[in-house]
C-alpha cells in the first residue's frame, strides 16, 4: 500500500510538472478554446475481443466529454493543481457484457471495478462491484476518477480479455472511454475445458558466440546437435560493442518442424495455443539504422509449435549479445509447454516470465 501511494504521489507530481510547463509555453499563444469538444471516432475491435465504445455519450447519463474550462490564469503550480481535478475528476459510468470463447453470455459473474482517483488533493483507489445478468450484461457507475479497471471473475472461467483498463481523464483525448448502454464493451472469458499436464520451462544458457545454428531442447532442457524445439542463428559484427560502437547484430529464431508467432502480450489470457498463423521463423535485428533500434539484448514472447505438433509452448525468450568476442551470449527461456500433441494450456494461465 505504501509503495502504491508513493507511485500515485510521484505520478501526480509528474502530471503537475507537465501542466505547469505546458501552460507557461502557452501563455503568449491562443487562450483555452471556447468551442465545445468534438466526439471521438469509434476505434473498432482489438485482438483481446474488446469492442471499443461509440463516439457519442449516453443520453441522460453523466457526460464525460464536457470539459470544464479553467477559470484561472495559467502559469503557477497552484494553477496546475486547480486544473488537475477538472481534467481527472470524470464521472465513472461503464457498460459491459461478458461472453465466453464460443460467444455465449457469462451470467452471474462477479465484476470488480477499481477507480483510480488522482485529482491533486486525493490519490487512491475506490472499488465498485456488481454481477452480470442472464445475458452477461453489467453496469458499473458511481464516483469520479481518472480511469477504471474492470475485473470479472467466475468459477470455471478465466479472463481472456487483454484490455481491461479504461481511461476517462481528459489527458487522453484520443483514447478516452465514452460509455454507451446500447453498445456495451464486450469482455471475453474462457470457459475452462479441463487442464492437462504441462512442462514448466525455465532455462538459462551461456554460450560462446558462433554463427552456426544453436539448437535448444525444451523437454530435455539442454543444447542439442539435432532435433530439439528452437533453433537460433546469431549474426554479429566483429569487434567490441560499446556506446561508441553500436555495431549491427541479429538473431533469427526458428521452430523445429513447426512455427512460431509473436504472442503480443497475450500470454496470460491465452488458454489454448492458436491453431493457425505460425511462421517458420522470426528475425530480431539490432542496428542504429532506421527503422531499427540498437540494444545489447531483447525479451520477446512467442507461441511455438514444434516437433510436427507434438509440443505447443508459450515461451518467453530473453537474449543478451556478447559485448566482447570472448564473452558469453546469454539465452533464457521461460514459460510452459504441452508435450502431448495438445494445444491445451489451461493448466497454467500465468504470463510468460523469463527468469
For 147-165, how does the pLDDT look when each residue is reduced to its tens digit (9 = 90+)? 999 999 999 999 999 899 9
**Per-residue pLDDT at 348:** 73
Query: Which residues form the domain of 242?
Result: 199-338
Q: Report phi then psi at 126, rounded to 5.
A: -115, 145
Same domain, 162 and 115: yes
**Per-residue pLDDT at 143:** 87
- pTM score: 0.71
**Per-residue pLDDT at 25:** 40
Last residue of a domain, one of 191, 223, 249: 191
Whether the CB-CB separation of 161 and 136 falls below 8 Å is answered with: no
Q: What's the CA gap between 103 and 115, in Å, rounded?
A: 28
**Per-residue pLDDT at 99:** 98
Whether the CB-CB separation of 215 and 226 falls below 8 Å is answered with: yes
Percent of the chain with pLDDT over 90: 67
* 242 to 6, 284, 296: CA distances (angstroms): 35, 19, 9
**Interval 52-83: pLDDT, tens:** 223 222 223 333 333 343 444 445 555 556 67
**Per-residue pLDDT at 23:** 40
Q: Give the cell for residue 68.
A: 470544464
Same domain, 16 and 161: yes
**Interval 309-328: pLDDT, tens:** 999 999 999 999 999 999 99
Judge whether residue 17 has pLDDT over 70.
no
Q: What's the CA gap between 349 and 353, in Å, rounded?
A: 12
* 103 to 136, 187, 269: CA distances (angstroms): 11, 11, 16
Same domain, 206 and 81: no
Query: What's the CATH code of the domain at 153?
Result: 2.60.40.1120
**Interval 168-191: pLDDT, tens:** 998 888 899 999 999 999 999 999
**Per-residue pLDDT at 81:** 62
**Per-residue pLDDT at 166:** 97
Percent of the chain with pLDDT over 70: 75
Same domain, 312 and 260: yes
**Per-residue pLDDT at 110:** 98
Q: What's the CA gap between 266 and 250, in Å, rounded?
A: 25
pLDDT greater at residue 118 or residue 252: 252
Whether the CB-CB separation of 209 and 326 falls below 8 Å is answered with: no
Judge whether residue 34 has pLDDT over 70.
no
Same domain, 125 and 221: no
pLDDT greater at residue 43 or residue 276: 276
Whether the CB-CB separation of 69 and 17 falls below 8 Å is answered with: no
**What's the domain count of the chain?**
2
53 within domain boundaries: no
Judge whether residue 15 has pLDDT over 90.
no
**Per-residue pLDDT at 283:** 97
Same domain, 183 and 227: no
* 208 to 215, 247, 251, 297, 322: CA distances (angstroms): 14, 18, 14, 15, 8
**Interval 96-134: pLDDT, tens:** 999 999 999 999 999 999 999 988 788 899 999 999 999
Same domain, 182 and 328: no
Same domain, 7 and 154: yes
Q: 288, 297, 293, 291: which is closest to 247 by C-alpha?
A: 288
**Per-residue pLDDT at 33:** 29
Same domain, 211 and 268: yes
241 within domain boundaries: yes
Same domain, 154 and 215: no
Same domain, 203 and 312: yes
9 within domain boundaries: yes
Q: Report phi then psi at 77, rounded to 5.
A: -65, -35
Last residue of a domain, one of 123, 157, 191: 191
Last residue of a domain, one of 191, 226, 252: 191
Mean pLDDT taken over the chain: 81
For range 223-245, the mean pLDDT: 96
Q: What's the CA gap between 112 and 134, in Å, rounded?
A: 18
pLDDT greater at residue 36 or residue 109: 109
**Per-residue pLDDT at 78:** 59
Highest mean pLDDT among 80-94, 246-260, 337-351: 246-260
**Per-residue pLDDT at 86:** 80
Same domain, 205 and 251: yes
Kindly report the three-state secondary structure assignment for every residue of the chain: CHHHHHHHHHHHHHHHHHHHHHHHHHCCCCCCCCCCCCCCCCCCECCCCCECCCCCCCCCCCCCCCCCCCCCCCCCHHHHHHHHHHHHCEEEEEEEEEECCCCCECCCCEEEEEEEEECCCCEEEEEEEEECCCCCEEEEEEEEECEEEEEEECCCEEECCCCCEEECCCCCCCCCCCCCCCCCEEEEEEECCCCCCCEEEEEEEEEECCCCCEEEECCCCEEECCCCCEEEEEEECCCCCECCECCCEEEEEEECCCEEEECCCCHHHCCECCCCCCECEEEEEECCCCCCCCCCEEEEEEEEEEHHHCEEEEEEEEEECCCCCCCEEEEEEEEEEECCCCCECCCCCCCCCCC
Amino acid at each position: 500500500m505504501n509503495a502504491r501511494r508513493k507511485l500515485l504521489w510521484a505520478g501526480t507530481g509528474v502530471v503537475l510538472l507537465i501542466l505547469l510547463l505546458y501552460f507557461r509555453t502557452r501563455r503568449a499563444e491562443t487562450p483555452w478554446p471556447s468551442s465545445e469538444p468534438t466526439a471521438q471516432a469509434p476505434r473498432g475491435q482489438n485482438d483481446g475481443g474488446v469492442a471499443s465504445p461509440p463516439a457519442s455519450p449516453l443520453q441522460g447519463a453523466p457526460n464525460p466529454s464536457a470539459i470544464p474550462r479553467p477559470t484561472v490564469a495559467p502559469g503557477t503550480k497552484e494553477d496546475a493543481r486547480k486544473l488537475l481535478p477538472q481534467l481527472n475528476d470524470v464521472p465513472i459510468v461503464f457498460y459491459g457484457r461478458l461472453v465466453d470463447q464460443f460467444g455465449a453470455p457469462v451470467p452471474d459473474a462477479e465484476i470488480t471495478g477499481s477507480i483510480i482517483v488522482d485529482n491533486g488533493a486525493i490519490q487512491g483507489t475506490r472499488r465498485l462491484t456488481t454481477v452480470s445478468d442472464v445475458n452477461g450484461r453489467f453496469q458499473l457507475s458511481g464516483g469520479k476518477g481518472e480511469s477504471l479497471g474492470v475485473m470479472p471473475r467466475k468459477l470455471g472461467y478465466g479472463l481472456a480479455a487483454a484490455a481491461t483498463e479504461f481511461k476517462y481523464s481528459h489527458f487522453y483525448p484520443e483514447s478516452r472511454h465514452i460509455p454507451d448502454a446500447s453498445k456495451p464493451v464486450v469482455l471475453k472469458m474462457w470457459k475452462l475445458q479441463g487442464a492437462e499436464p504441462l512442462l514448466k520451462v525455465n532455462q538459462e544458457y551461456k554460450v560462446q558466440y558462433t554463427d552456426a545454428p544453436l539448437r535448444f531442447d525444451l523437454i530435455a532442457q539442454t543444447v542439442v546437435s539435432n532435433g530439439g524445439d528452437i533453433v537460433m542463428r546469431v549474426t554479429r559484427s566483429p569487434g567490441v560493442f560499446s556506446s561508441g560502437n553500436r555495431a549491427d547484430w541479429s538473431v533469427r529464431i526458428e521452430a523445429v518442424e513447426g512455427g512460431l508467432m509473436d504472442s503480443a502480450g497475450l500470454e496470460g489470457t491465452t488458454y489454448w495455443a492458436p491453431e493457425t498463423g505460425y511462421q517458420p521463423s522470426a528475425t530480431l535485428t539490432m542496428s542504429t539504422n532506421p527503422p531499427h533500434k540498437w540494444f545489447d539484448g531483447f525479451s520477446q514472447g512467442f507461441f511455438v509449435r514444434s516437433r510436427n505438433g507434438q509440443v505447443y509452448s508459450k515461451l518467453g525468450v530473453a537474449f543478451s549479445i556478447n559485448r566482447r568476442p570472448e564473452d558469453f551470449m546469454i539465452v533464457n527461456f521461460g514459460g510452459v509447454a504441452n508435450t502431448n500433441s495438445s494445444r491445451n494450456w489451461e493448466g497454467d494461465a500465468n504470463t510468460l516470465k523469463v527468469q
